[in-house]
Chain A
Amino acid sequence: MGRAHAKELSRSYAKGVIKVSSKFKAEDFKGIALSEEDFKEKKVIFSDIRAKAYYAWTAGVAISRFLSELKEGKIIARKCNKCGRVLIPPRMFCELCYRPTDEWVYVKDTGRVNTFSIAWIGVNASRLKEPLIPAVIEIDGASPGMGIYHMLGEVDPAEVRIGMNVQAVWKPKEERKGCITDIKYFKPIK
């Protein structure tokens, strides 16, 4: 390192003169914009490759138990006896106290809508005919603010409110396989 000691600098500048960047003219900025047609009509050459990227992610101790319980139609959390929080999704260590969590605690399959959206585009950004209602649901029995992500169903989009009470709608037992989608969605409690 140290190659760039001032005296060795390659620039040929008059000392103290600033090359003022605002003197950049619009044409100084490079970048050639292509139109959508350029692509569709293959006016530009491009290389079309699908990545071979496949995975089988390890669920780990906490989430494995969580998923097994879903299969039984139950939601389970972990409790940290230091801060007293009941944590969902469950984890084997408390990220705030930085110590192992202490016990498994069953929580309810009901909760309140913390926030939601009426989505008119799908997961892949395509336009939807009927909207989806994704939401964060604070689970009853877990500490305040502790929620999970899921969809709402059996509800008129115009009726959804923050704070609305909802309940899990489970798949039939024989269809459950230990996956977050063992819960079909959450619906309002009448």
Chain B
Amino acid sequence: MVVKTIAAIKRRVAIVGAGMTKFVRRAKETGKELAYEAAKMALDSAGLTLKDVDAVVIGSAPDAFDGVHMKGEYLADGSGAWRKPCFRQFDGGSTGVGVVPTAFWTVASGLSDVCLVVCEEKMSSCLPHPQYAFLTIYDPILVRPIGLNVAWNFAFEMKRYMHVYNVRHEQIALVSVKNKRNALDHPCAQLAAKITVEDVLKSEVIADPVRRLDISPTSDGAVAIILAHEGLAKRLTDVPVWITGIGSGIDTQHWTDRDLAYCKYLEEAARMAYRMAGIRNPRKEVDVANPYDPFDYKELQHAEALLLFKPGEAPRATEEGVTERDGDMPLNPDGGLLGVGNPISAAGLMRVAEIFWQLRGEAGKRQVKKDAVIGVAHAWGELMQKSSVVVMQRG
């Protein structure tokens, strides 16, 4: 396998605009309308109109949420794809970040100059509860007859992570406390709150060790970003944010045969992205990172597999405040999925949009203390087996 460095890529690609809707439990807007609002905001922020866009890439997670087969087709007009090249990338929870590479090569290959990326999720459409959509992610012959729920599934991982690395729930709960507090400064947040570790540990048990406040909510929302090639990006803005590394990794479909304590597939994805971006020491070179945090323990597991901490060491770094906004390695300064909300694919693309805002110094009250130049966005999904990584750099 060959991993090229960013210097070898045919055209440099930058993010030049981003937009998002509020994340809410139930939106009045249809999925198409949410997609439109996010796309329009992203276009406005870059000073572009739909006429300038020559390709659209849609990201959206299971069709069962919105309750529409071929959801990419359904969302096309809301995403501005009328009579334009458009496809949808979908790899479960990692869609929101995995969609960025597909848009990246649409521009890098020279086939498109301005590519609009739109991620939408309207989970509330799925009745009686969005959880029902998750029941059908499992093997219909070996697992569905017994029954399995994602919360149980993540409890398996969390238990294993705690067991192998001797991590206490108090340490994990700190992630939820931090992210929900960070979200107090986010205008789109659904579950921002000032809570304590005790609140998390005393919240309702869902599937031990997972408790209510360990989990991100189900949400409706959309996020959009705009990619442009080098010449154009430099004309559009003085502060383009370059995409310098992309990575992807997937593990076997047989989840009962995997190491549930460590995300090897994410390490592979991260190594690929760092190699491409020329990053040798991620702990030193990365200024801000958004490891995917649908559950609090996932931020820790992911920060480790992103090689920002050694395996099992992220909990202590969190205790020491290293991952706070004013820390040395700020993680999810916007509040992440735990604080802002989790409309699956949109939450993933929000990880990218937030890095864009952070690197441009436009994150307002969410801005990290240090001058961030290099940032990493990550999303994770499918059956606890897939990760996508994007490395971004200012200037």
Direct contact of A and B (CB under 8 A): yes
Q: Which A positions have Cβ atoms within 8 angstroms of B?
A: 1-6, 9-11, 13, 15-16, 18-22, 24-26, 28-36, 38-39, 44, 48-49, 51, 55, 57, 59, 63, 67, 87-89, 91, 95, 114-125, 131, 134-136, 145-151, 162, 179-181
Q: Are B145 and A34 in contact (CB under 8 A)?
A: no
Q: Are B207 and A2 in contact (CB under 8 A)?
A: no
Set A125, A149, A181: member contacting B148, Cβ < 8 A: A149
Shortest C-beta distance, A163 to chain B (Å), equals 9
Q: Are A121 and B207 in contact (CB under 8 A)?
A: yes
Can you report 24 residue pairs joining A to B where beta carbons are below 8 Å apart? A4-B114, A11-B46, A11-B48, A20-B362, A28-B41, A29-B41, A31-B23, A31-B188, A31-B220, A34-B27, A57-B141, A59-B141, A87-B257, A114-B256, A118-B208, A119-B152, A119-B206, A120-B208, A123-B147, A125-B129, A125-B151, A136-B260, A145-B258, A151-B146
Set A18, A24, A121: member contacting B238, Cβ < 8 A: A18
Contacts of B210 in A (CB 8 A): 117
Interface size for chain B: under 10, 10 to 19, 20 to 34, or 35 or more residues?
A: 35 or more
Q: In the complex, how many residue pairs between chain A and chain B have their CB atoms under 8 Å apart?
A: 219
Q: Is B395 an interface residue (CB 8 A)?
A: no
Residue of A nearest to B42 (CB): A21
Q: Give bound CA distance, A88 to B85, whole Å.
A: 43
Shortest C-beta distance, A40 to chain B (Å), equals 11
Shortest C-beta distance, B86 to chain A (Å), equals 13
Set A20, A49, A125: member contacting B149, Cβ < 8 A: A125
Shortest C-beta distance, A186 to chain B (Å), equals 11
Given A4-B53, A117-B152, A120-B207, also A67-B29 (CB < 8 A): no
Q: Are B34 and A147 in contact (CB under 8 A)?
A: no
Set B129, B152, B209: member contacting A124, Cβ < 8 A: B129
Contacts of B188 in A (CB 8 A): 29, 31
Q: Give bound CA distance, A2 to B109, whole Å.
A: 12
User: 0/1 per residue, B225-249, Cβ < 8 Å to A?
Assistant: 0000001100111110000000000
User: 0/1 per residue, B1-42, Cβ < 8 Å to A?
Assistant: 000000000000000011011111111110000100100010
Set A32, A124, A131: member contacting B27, Cβ < 8 A: A32
Q: Are B22 and A30 in contact (CB under 8 A)?
A: yes
Given A31-B21, A180-B145, also A11-B52 (CB < 8 A): yes
Contacts of B155 in A (CB 8 A): 117, 119
Q: Give bound CA distance, A49 to B64, whole Å.
A: 12
